[in-house]
Amino acid sequence: MPKIINKENILNQGLILLKQICAENALTVEIIHTDDKIYDVLIKIRWNRSDALIGVEVLSSGLPRFLLEFAGATKLINTSIYPVLIAPYISPKGAQILKAHKIGYCDLAGNCYVAFKNVLISKTGLANPLPARKEARSLFAPRASRLTRVFLSDPLRGWLLKDLSQELKMSVGYIHSVVTKLLQQDYLMKQGKKLYVKDREGLLSAWASSYHFTINENSEFYFSKSLDEFEKAIEQYCSNLQIRYALTLFSGARYRAPFVRYPRLHAYFDGDIERLAKELDLKPVATGANIVILTPYDEGVFYKSQRIQDRNIVSDIQLYLDLQSAKGRAEEQASALAFQHLHYLFKGRTMGT
């Protein structure tokens, strides 16, 4: 596919795809003119003895923020013209926004949705043909994800940039850059100078989709005694040396929402693993391990850790991320945890709707 360099290129490719999709559905497309004061192009779609006037608008980005801005603008436009948006890529989230505002779309991947009069065309599920933007890839990078932790841990609170800086011990400049991306994706909203979570479920789901607990370095051992005995041992060891640790996966879930039993213990540990293994008599093994010590990919895994029955457990959000990414029965355990303790994050869009 040719490199996308400007709106005209996007428009031309988009119109070609739209014509092809319409032809597949026994519709014809006729360009009326391209100097409309509101839309980039006006076209007429014909079928049988009927026709409809379509206003085509081009956006160089399909980020939710820009889709919402366009949706707001269409409310002031002649309703006899059906609006169709062309963009490089419209994500499922973006498609949901446009459908809710009765706007059609066609992207350069070939995804298309138009619904007017007695016409309905829906072609979805095609992947983004363009390389992922750096900012999209970095949204849930280790440091950047600390912002998501804060917002989801207290989703009703409004945050000032300076408060976030103090909470996370990070520069205001860096926080502002991440917040800008979250606003563009429509996960956050501003009221005055304060930032609020706008889409709790969408934010958590997007993070979970890009996360896998294997991003953490793991060391596997065999412990000759019971897992309960190991929990007591690592608790006392870390308490004496003032080292951070926190149980996760099934080991943490059994203290929050016991659902599945699992014969391995997983724990984040922020210290010298070789010394830990020596002090607690852990035997390194290639197979048959019953203890897995995780070296955190970022210190954020300890954010809002919980103290339960004299044990340190990761936050429910970190626990959910780890379980959801482990697949299999871990996903069942993640669902049980979400039902009991994270239901407040699974209520869709929570502000500004």
DSSP letter string, 258-289: -----S-EEEEE-S-HHHHHHHTT-EE-SSS-
Q: What is the pLDDT of residue 292?
A: 97
Decide if 132 contacts 289 (C-beta within 8 A).
no
Q: What is the pLDDT of residue 247?
A: 98
Q: What is the pLDDT of residue 171?
A: 93
Determine the Cα–Cα distance for residues 244 and 73; give it in Å rounded to an integer: 51
Instruction: Pick the closest to residue 89 from 126, 40, 137, 134 (CA basis).
Output: 126
What phi-psi label fits residue 148: left (phi over 0), alpha (psi between -120 and 50 degrees) or beta? alpha
Instruction: Pick the closest to residue 47 from 62, 63, 30 (CA basis).
Output: 30
Q: What is the pLDDT of residue 65?
A: 76
Long-range contact pairs involving 102-107 (C-beta distance under 8 Å, separation at least 24): 103/70, 103/71, 103/74, 104/54, 106/14, 106/17, 106/18, 106/21, 107/14, 107/62
Residue 14 is which amino acid? G
Determine the Cα–Cα distance for residues 252 and 264; give it in Å rounded to an integer: 11
Q: What is the pLDDT of residue 33?
A: 72
Determine the Cα–Cα distance for residues 10 and 14; give it in Å rounded to an integer: 6
Mean pLDDT per block of 10 residues along the chain (353 residues) reads 62 91 92 75 91 90 82 74 92 88 92 92 82 60 94 95 95 93 91 94 88 91 96 98 97 93 94 96 94 95 97 97 90 91 73 43
Q: What domains lie within the chain, and their CATH numbers? A: 7-123 (3.40.1350), 134-199 (1.10.10.10), 213-345 (3.30.460.40)
Decide if 268 contacts 341 (C-beta within 8 A).
no
pTM confidence score = 0.68
**Cα–Cα separations (whole angstroms), residue 114 to 66, 139, 246, 287:** 19, 31, 50, 55
Q: What is the pLDDT of residue 348?
A: 47
Locate 33 and state its tokens. 């003119």
- In the chain, at which residue ranges do the beta strands (DSSP E only) sit? 28-33, 41-47, 50-58, 82-87, 104-107, 112-116, 119-123, 188-191, 194-197, 217-222, 245-248, 265-269, 283-284, 291-295, 306-308, 311-313
Pairing of strands 291-295, 265-269: parallel
Determine the Cα–Cα distance for residues 148 and 315; give it in Å rounded to an integer: 13
Instruction: Pick the closest to residue 175 from 186, 193, 160, 155 (CA basis).
Output: 160
Query: SS3 breakdown of the chain: % helix, strand, coil, rounded to 5?
Result: 40, 25, 35
Q: What is the pLDDT of residue 36?
A: 61
Determine the Cα–Cα distance for residues 324 and 316; give it in Å rounded to an integer: 12
